[in-house]
Amino acid sequence: MRSTLSRSVAALAAGAALSLASAGVAFADATPVPDDVIPHDNTHNQASFWEAYLLEEFGIEATCTKDDKPGDPWIVPAAPSGQAWVLAVVKGGAGDSANELYYEPEAGWALSHQSKGNSHVIICSAVPEEVPTTPPTTETTPPTTPP
């Protein structure tokens, strides 16, 4: 009996440890990671640069705004009505990884530069692309009446 109880307690402890380890992994995955990194260049500090970038690279007509005094982390706000976020650029420092790009950021994300403090954040929104929908086809047959 004692042996069975010891095995049961050991199994419960192992299960709890596995659950906690899994939860730790889930929490670690919740932190946004940049999709791309672009080196420092003074032109990258302007919202207009990113509007042109999105248009040239992806054909997206976006409106970008710059927050010169972001918190750290900077919390992504709700997108303007009828629009969606398409890009957030978190600037930190002046090296090869100065500009961290987050594509399609979501409201509530906490963004912090991975190696420096947040210098500024540029966020861009656009009207979402509408996916064309075709109405379902319905067959109509004239009613038949007996002769």
pLDDT in tens, 26-49: 444 467 888 999 898 999 999 999
Q: Which pLDDT band holds residue 129 (cuts at 50, 70, 90)?
A: confident
Cis peptide before 73 (omega within 30 of 0): yes
β-strand 84-91 against 120-126: which pairing, if any? antiparallel
CB under 8 Å to 7, separation ≥6 — which residues?
none
Q: What is the mean pLDDT of residues 68-79?
A: 95
Q: Which pLDDT band holds residue 18 (cuts at 50, 70, 90)?
A: very low
User: How far is the CA of 59 from the CAs of 8, 35, 53, 140, in angstroms?
Assistant: 60, 18, 9, 42
**Residue 76: both structure tokens together:** 């992504």
DSSP for residue 36: E
Q: Which pTM value belongs to this model?
A: 0.68
